[in-house]
Amino acid sequence: MGLPLGQRRGPLPVLAEGTHMSARCVMVLGTSSGAGKSWLATALCRHYARQGLKVAPFKAQNMSNNARVVPDLAGGMGEIGAAQYFQALAARAAPEVRMNPLLLKPEADTHSQVVLLGQVSAALTALPWRARSAQVWPQIAAALDALRADNDVVVIEGAGSPAEINLMDSDIVNLRVARHADARCLLVTDIDRGGAFAHLYGTWALLPEADRARLHGFVLNKFRGDAALLAPAPAQLERLTGVPTVAVLPMRFGHGLPEEDGVFDDRPVAAAPPSAGLQAKMASNAGVASASSYLKDSFTHCTPRRIAIVAYPRISNLDEFQPLKNLPGVQLVWARTPAQLHGADWIVLPGSKATAADLGWLRAQHLDAAIAAHAGQGGAVLGICGGLQMLGEALIDLHGVESQAGIDGNAPGLGLLPLVTSFAPHKTVRRTQARFGAATGAWAPLAGVPVAGYEIHSGQTAQHPAMAAKGDLAHALIPRIAWQNAAGNVLGVYLHGLFEDAGVLQALFGAQAPTLDAAFERLADEIERAFAPGVLQALIAP
């Protein structure tokens, strides 16, 4: 496990007598998106933290609608990419905005909201992609320099591929960062896709010669089978490039970390045995004919086993559902058609970076009718953030916050909650602690349960005034944050991170998901087994 945080095995390397040098930087580059950069950087963060070193993650620019709320530089709260948030936890560090100074949140295929050092920048959002680099680089470099001054090791994640030669002149996330940090780099590729050696060689060949020298090792990720079958390719590749293959990492399923860029697989998971508490309840329940019948009834009426999450195009914060994936016996289905909602115990409308546009897509797929039918039959429906806004009666966008080309931000909602949402330029970004009120129906287990999470939303939601005047009221479980319908089966919340809260999981499922810390430990164990002896230490040697 290494030494406790803050204790080191020896003195830091020095530039001159008595002067500590800044952090060593290890950078993970990839031959493509999805090669494995994020998880390898996360594993490295935990590995070096286990050596008693002070470690921080860094990614200059991340493009993702999965964001987390962290302290900013002005004493408030801001946003960073979820991957760097989890990497900070793996490093046993407090997440903050310098770890991901530039976050791009896609709102359409050709448009992203720009978040600089945690805060939305309308001016940068309006700039063309290439024109942005010169303006943001000083802040990116300053953030990296500050982390280097405060830490022993900085683990840097690149983006896409460093060999995207069409973008090299405006690069602020790969080679420019590596040069500025004098980073020692690993290049990882996904061998499961095929062509791994060509990807590695081609990437190396397209790099400027000085940058090739920064590559200290190739990493083959997602390998299935006997690694001996790779010979003689690694040796041939080293003769061509001078770069050794330093690790072969196996294909892994269920590593426990949230996926950054894609939805989870929906392969079924075997049902878990009943918890000790449930077994005791079964044994003491004299009115039940048998333990097996009670278990069947309990799972049918209390604990959801199939959860369908509507996967609209601009889905956001999907990482918050990873704990459900980690629960034995629970199957997640990512639904894009009405047929994929069939048989679901719960339907979840997740967050969205473009609520009005995604609501229009949902209607075009006829998912609105399927959701209404499910709710009409008493089925449980949960809306989170943008999903909550969709569940209401109307979206009002007087300031054009949600309006895009061909999309009107003013739209009728799904009408499952008597609420109305008004959008405004100001974004709510905060961490929140609250307690659920007297929940009923499908969500009754949440009654009185304390919960902690985070909010990221532009709209504000309230009772629909005309419907309220007629007595049609949503039941506020948490003021301005959570509402339930009169029947008790439809719940809308602004709070992200609901299923990351241990108390909520216990209340709804009578179980706990494996902890993130346990996942970080497994990842560190894996790379320590897979990397050639001495490589990980050499990356941070003087």
* Gyration radius of the chain's alpha carbons: 25
Model pLDDT, residue 260: 59
User: Quick one: pLDDT band at residue 109, thresholds 50, 70, 90?
Assistant: confident
Q: Which string of DSSP letters, residue by residue, matches 144-196?
A: HHHHHHH-SEEEEE--S-TT-TTTGGG-SSSHHHHHHHT-EEEEEEEGGGS-H
Q: Is there a catalytic annotation at residue 496?
A: yes
Task: Answer yes or no: is pLDDT of 322 > 80.
Answer: yes
Helix (H, G, I), strand (E, B) or coil at 339: helix
97, 110, 233, 362, 368 from 386: Cα distances, Å: 24, 21, 49, 13, 15
Task: Answer yes or no: is pLDDT of 268 > 90.
Answer: no
Q: At what angle do helices 233-241 and 196-206 cross, to 10 degrees?
A: 10
Catalytic residue, from 216, 374, 464, 496: name it: 496
Model pLDDT, residue 263: 54
**Cα–Cα dist 254/508, whole Å:** 22
Look up residue 185 and give its two tokens.
Answer: 């780099």
166-181 tens-digit pLDDT: 989 999 999 999 999 9
Q: What's the predicted TM-score (pTM) here?
A: 0.84
435-458 tens-digit pLDDT: 999 999 999 999 999 999 999 999
Q: 8-22, 158-172, 185-199, 250-264: which range is least confident on average?
A: 8-22
Task: Answer yes or no: is pLDDT of 204 > 60.
Answer: yes
Between 227 and 24, the more confident residue is 24
For the residues 208-216, what does the mean pLDDT come to?
97
Look up residue 470 and give its two tokens.
Answer: 């007629």
Task: Answer yes or no: is pLDDT of 294 > 50.
Answer: no
Burial 56-80, CB ≥16 within 10 A → b, else e? bbbbbbbbbbbbbbbbbbeeebbbb
Look up residue 33 and give its two tokens.
Answer: 């998106």
121, 159, 299 from 143: Cα distances, Å: 17, 17, 50
User: Quick one: pLDDT band at residue 336, thresholds 50, 70, 90?
Assistant: very high
- Look over the chain and give the mean of its residue pLDDT values, rounded to a whole number: 87
Catalytic residue, from 385, 399, 457, 464: name it: 385
| Closest residue by Cα to residue 177 from 264, 338, 57 | 57
User: Quick one: pLDDT band at residue 158, thresholds 50, 70, 90?
Assistant: very high
Model pLDDT, residue 302: 53
Look up residue 504 and give its two tokens.
Answer: 């909520």
115-152 tens-digit pLDDT: 999 999 999 999 988 889 999 999 999 999 999 999 99
Q: 14-28, 273-287, 307-321, 481-495: which range is least confident on average?
A: 273-287
Q: Is there a catalytic annotation at residue 475?
A: no
For the residues 343-354, what does the mean pLDDT come to?
96
Q: Which domains does the chain have, with CATH numbers?
A: 23-256+520-538 (3.40.50.300), 276-513 (3.40.50.880)
Q: 258-267, 276-285, 302-311, 421-430: which range is least confident on average?
A: 276-285
Model pLDDT, residue 537: 97
Task: Answer yes or no: is pLDDT of 274 > 90.
Answer: no
| Closest residue by Cα to residue 219 from 541, 533, 530, 537 | 530
CB proximity list for 213: less than 8 A, separation 6 or greater: none
Burial 125-136, CB ≥16 within 10 A → b, else e? beeeeeebbeeb
DSSP 402: S
- On whether the CB atoms of residues 477 and 484 are closer than 8 A, the answer is yes
DSSP 482: E
**Cα–Cα dist 274/172, whole Å:** 51
**Cα–Cα dist 138/124, whole Å:** 14
